[in-house]
Amino acid sequence: MKSQQNNEYKAFWDERYAEVAYSYGKAPNEFFKQWIQRFEPGSILLPADGEGRNGVFAAKLGWDVTSNDFSKAAEEKALQLAEQEQVSINFMVSDIEELDLPDGKFDAIALIFAHFSPEKISSIHKKLVKALKKDGIIIFEAYSKNHLEYRARNPKVGGPGNLDMLFSKADIERDFGGFEIILLEEAETELNEGKYHKGVGSVLRFVGKKK
């Protein structure tokens, strides 16, 4: 049953990313754009980077980028975008759970609307924490648990319909407990990211430094 669910989930994203247009646009997420520029470039991992808009932006700033998604269609569009912007990114097509990530490899990890299955969220976050260097940075933005109200009013704003896939401050404090908190907030924001993130939504934002 779980295997069937995984296949259906993957097929959903393959179909979405196979569309000609970039599902969430080619421009980086505004929160990611704002924060990534505050840090000295190094190595960065972007799980669930989709069509590469954030990874490509980081590469343009001089970061050594590893992007990840389990959709082959996403990889094709990400590499196409990188070529258009005349940068290079390393794209790994895999379920994030199956990636071999050496401990302490990355200077930064960005989780931008990386909504995983509820039973996997904490284990994935713990795996990513291990892959981050000491003093490494996490940049995180995703829909908050209050987002369902916004989604009900305007489905075009996007996001999971499953409350357990959304985030609270307590979730972040649990999964990133060993971090110095630079920012942790829930905010209402207006999204204008391609076809599938359009309108006002509620997001959870976190920037933290691994101690």
* Tokens representing residue 83 in the block: 């070529």
In the numeric block, which tokens belong to residue 145?
């648990």
Mind giving me the DSSP string for 45-58? EETT-TTSHHHHHH
pLDDT tier, 3 (very low <50, low <70, confident <90, very high otherwise): low
Structural tokens at position 155? 């489905």
Q: Per-residue pLDDT tens for 119-163?
A: 999 999 999 999 999 999 999 999 999 999 999 999 999 999 999
For residue 14, give every residue at least 6 positions away whose Cβ sits within 8 Å of its Cβ, in sequence order, or none.
Answer: 71, 72, 73
Residue 1 has pLDDT above 50, yes or no: no
pLDDT in tens, 70-107: 999 999 999 999 999 999 999 999 999 889 999 999 99
Q: Tokens 């179909």: give the residue.
A: 15
- The pLDDT of residue 48 is 95
Token pair, residue 178, equals 């060993």
Place of tokens 């295997």: 3
Are 203 and 143 a contacting pair, CB within 8 Å? yes
* Phi and psi, residue 164, nearest 5°: -70, -10
pLDDT digits (tens, 9 = 90+) for 30-66: 999 999 999 999 999 999 999 999 999 999 999 999 9
Instruction: Count the neighbouring beta carbons within 10 Å of the beta carbon of residue 178.
Output: 9
Contacts of 45 (CB under 8 A, 6+ apart): 66, 68, 101, 105, 106, 108, 109, 110, 128, 131
Instruction: Count CB neighbours of 34 within 10 A.
Output: 12
Q: Do the beta carbons of residue 209 and residue 137 sit within 8 Å? A: yes
Determine whether domain 2-210 maps to CATH 3.40.50.150: yes
Mean pLDDT throughout 110-119? Answer: 95
Name the maximum alpha-carbon separation found in the chain.
45
